Amino acid sequence: MNRRPVRAVAYCAGLVCLTAALAWARAAEPVPTLDPRHWPRLAPVPAPDAALEARISALLERMTPEQKVGQLVQADIGSITPEELRRYPLGSILNGGNSSPHDDKLAAPSEWLALADRFYAASLEASGELRLPALWGTDAVHGHNNIPGATVFPHNIGLGAAHDPELIRRIGEITALEVRVTGLDWAFSPTVAVARDACWGRTYESYSEDPALVRAYARAMVEGLQGRPGTPQYLDAAHVLATPKHFLGDGGTGGKDQGDNLSSEAQLLALDSVGYQAALAAGAQTVMASYSSWQGQKMHGNYTLLTEVLKGRFGFQGLVLGDWNGHAQLPGCSAVSCPAAYNAGLDVLMAPDGWRELLANTQAEVTRGEIDPARLEDAVRRVLRVKLRAHLDSEGAPSRRPFAGRYRLLGAAAHRAVARRAVRESLVLLKNRNRLLPLKPHQSVLVAGDGADSIAKQSGGWTIDWQGTEPNQDFPHAETIYAGIARCVAAAGGRVQLSPSGEFAVRPDVAIVVFGENPYAEFAGDVATLEYSPADKHDLALLRRLHALDIPVVAVFLSGRPLWVNAELNAADSFIAAWLPGPEGGALADVLFRKPDNTVHYDLRGRLPFAWPASPRPPDAATGEVPLFPLGYGLSYGDDGWVRPLPETP
């Protein structure tokens, strides 16, 4: 008798009992409570300004109820026209990951600037004598990444590997400048999540699992984007509003996007909140709320954390923005009606498509007293405070601002040089048997793998479009990893052949196999296991085929997170975690190869921002899962890069 059915029944019965026991145990545990007094008191940055507050009070006096509520609703440019903005006085607009002028993701920068002018003029007219135009927010999360030709940097996980806050500040400055060139004034970044489970599809948007690194980077990126508070550069024409996100605890949901963070209050404070404390100390003026929950309560409706902690204890004086229809997930709410979100402490709801109804419904809810009048006043005051601090009342139309239309700044050589430095510093060497790397460029090199010549694959999500699937030709001056290798080898008189499948006519001296995850964003990237490509092992077969021919193999792994790749590590002589280097990924070659004179061009300095898993389960002290390579691990060329043969079954 096949024992399998008996065993299966026993297994399932055990599972049912275990699940029931866990549910009972959780039900028996009291839900941890939050006490705002446990949270540090922070001084508001910048300090309150009486003259500014007086100006705001005067504006509030003159605003109609519709103008007030309009400030609290944000629409997506794919769902509102300048003509409608003239009629409906919304306080801000955004372009979501898939929105662009005329719905053309390849629209020229001049189209963005022209549209910014039209929205500005319309909103200025709608604001009447207030003369307060709308803000325009964009997901500039690794450069001004919606604009073909703009400088795009490695995603945050790679920047975390660089351990270089000054680099982060410079990246913020460049990003802000290029956003300004196209007439926009607000960046929905940085993500300051402390990701704890790489199954999460947004792990690559997190700098690190190490809160100390996230703290240092949050400050650097906010100061880079906004300028330093108290200096003339703060929110000047070369800088934009920053948005630490997603408040609070999006990285601690057990690897499920928009999931439930079950951390204790102490963990929430010690891990999830440190990026915000640093960002606020750096003068961040907007914060985006998280889709995720804490202990079963959606963050968009969490009064204690949004109001008593963020605005009370942390002294935040700017505006809290909801995420894309995030308010609709609250009990009793929809995309077009949600008093609960405003009452909890959200100041602006991101209502990409339902903005018109939300405006009308919110006005009615204010009239009916469902939204506390004092809450309404506070929310409008916060929006006006941010706008005046950002000089929206005086800087004129987008195209008349100092850097508007200076299109040569987009992807400028000096900016791309910083991106290439970031690529180099992000690389983490995990294995280097017999010190194969760095390679001599004067030899025959086979470049294989489906990531070798793909800007999309080396860039990941949030690049031109939301999920990041654009063809190479949409990136005017990018360099694929293959192109970078060809550049280095050709300069030394070597020979290079590109063959994604790994076939070759002339036996190479060495093979570089570039492979990894296909692009994704947000929940589209959630996985159930950390095993790399569990259903398709063609990359492993390619590595093994070349290895079996005694061809030295260098594996370059493109991923938005650390994954279980024991078999791939065994099949390679050298293995580099390259993360998502972006359109300047060709800079990787300058690290891989020696100079033509055989000296080392750049050494590797990247160190793991997340522990690397030894099994398909995330490393976790609580479960006893120990990492294969610990947080902070990374080899340089002088190190002994030998790695013992690794188990290839979980």
Nearer to ligand GLC, 137 or 438 (CB): 137
Nearer to ligand GLC, 324 or 612 (CB): 324
Full DSSP string of 189-256: --B------TTSTTGGGS--S-HHHHHHHHHHHHHHHH--TTSTTTT-TT--B---EEETTGGGSTT-
Are the beta carbons of 136 and 186 closer than 8 angstroms? yes
CA distance 439 to 458: 21
Q: What is the DSSP letter of 304?
A: I
Residues in the chain: 650
Residues from 306 through 335 that contact ligand GLC (CB under 6 A): 323-324
Pick the stretch among 90-98, 101-109, 150-158, 219-227 that binds ligand GLC (CB under 6 A). Answer: 90-98
Nearer to ligand GLC, 326 or 586 (CB): 326
Helix (H, G, I), strand (E, B) or coil at 186: strand
Structure tokens given for 505: 């006519």
- State yes or no: residue 612 binds ligand GLC (CB under 6 A): no
Pick the stretch among 89-97, 153-161, 331-339, 405-413 that binds ligand GLC (CB under 6 A). Answer: 89-97
CA distance 389 to 402: 17
Which residues touch 399 (CB under 8 Å, ≥6 apart)? 113, 114, 116, 117, 183, 405
- State yes or no: residue 97 binds ligand GLC (CB under 6 A): yes
Interface with ligand GLC (CB under 6 A), residue from 73, 85, 139, 585: 139
Contact string (CB under 6 A) for ligand GLC, positions 176-205, x = contact:
------------x-----------------
Q: How many binding residues for ligand GLC (CB under 6 A)?
A: 8
Are the beta carbons of 94 and 76 closer than 8 angstroms? yes
- State yes or no: residue 249 binds ligand GLC (CB under 6 A): no
Nearer to ligand GLC, 203 or 574 (CB): 203
Dihedral sign for Cα atoms in the order 524, 99, 260, 284: positive
Cβ neighbours around 267 below 10 Å, total? 17
Structure tokens given for 487: 């550049």
Structure tokens given for 257: 């996007």
Are the beta carbons of 585 and 160 closer than 8 angstroms? no
Nearer to ligand GLC, 202 or 385 (CB): 202
Structure tokens given for 33: 């409570």
Position 32, amino acid: P
* Least Å from the CB of residue 110 to ligand GLC: 23
* Least Å from the CB of residue 324 to ligand GLC: 4
512 phi/psi in degrees, rounded to 5:
-115, 120
Closest CA to 348 of 330, 332, 367, 327: 327
Nearer to ligand GLC, 145 or 480 (CB): 145
- State yes or no: residue 460 binds ligand GLC (CB under 6 A): no
Pick the stretch among 30-38, 92-100, 124-132, 226-234 that binds ligand GLC (CB under 6 A). Answer: 92-100
Nearer to ligand GLC, 163 or 327 (CB): 327
* Least Å from the CB of residue 100 to ligand GLC: 12
- State yes or no: residue 465 binds ligand GLC (CB under 6 A): no
Full DSSP string of 531-577: BSSTT--HHHHHHHHHHHTT--EEEEEE-SS--B-HHHHHH-SEEEE
Are the beta carbons of 484 and 528 closer than 8 angstroms? no
Are the beta carbons of 551 and 507 closer than 8 angstroms? yes
Helix (H, G, I), strand (E, B) or coil at 293: strand
| Angle (nearest 5°) at CA 238 between 237 and 243 | 95
Nearer to ligand GLC, 245 or 607 (CB): 245
Nearer to ligand GLC, 188 or 593 (CB): 188
Pick the stretch among 94-102, 267-275, 541-549, 561-569 that binds ligand GLC (CB under 6 A). Answer: 94-102
- State yes or no: residue 96 binds ligand GLC (CB under 6 A): yes
Cβ neighbours around 508 below 10 Å, total? 22
Asked whether the bond before 601 is cis by omega within 30 degrees of 0, the reply is: no
Are the beta carbons of 423 and 585 closer than 8 angstroms? yes
Pick the stretch among 93-101, 339-347, 566-574, 633-641 that binds ligand GLC (CB under 6 A). Answer: 93-101
Active-site residue among 522, 526, 539, 573? 522
* Least Å from the CB of residue 315 to ligand GLC: 24
Residues from 411 through 440 that contact ligand GLC (CB under 6 A): none
Active-site residue among 323, 347, 573, 584? 323
Nearer to ligand GLC, 97 or 438 (CB): 97
Active site residue 584: no
* Least Å from the CB of residue 264 to ligand GLC: 25
Residues from 615 through 644 that contact ligand GLC (CB under 6 A): none
Dihedral sign for Cα atoms in the order 555, 561, 565, 566: positive
Helix (H, G, I), strand (E, B) or coil at 297: strand
Pick the stretch among 13-21, 91-99, 334-342, 413-421 that binds ligand GLC (CB under 6 A). Answer: 91-99
Tell me how far the alpha carbon of residue 85 is from its chain's centroid.
29
Nearer to ligand GLC, 170 or 300 (CB): 300
* Least Å from the CB of residue 398 to ligand GLC: 20
Are the beta carbons of 410 and 151 closer than 8 angstroms? yes
- State yes or no: residue 245 binds ligand GLC (CB under 6 A): yes
Active site residue 531: no
The residues annotated as belonging to the active site are 323, 522
Q: Using CB under 6 A, list all residues that contact ligand GLC.
A: 94, 96-97, 139, 188, 245, 323-324
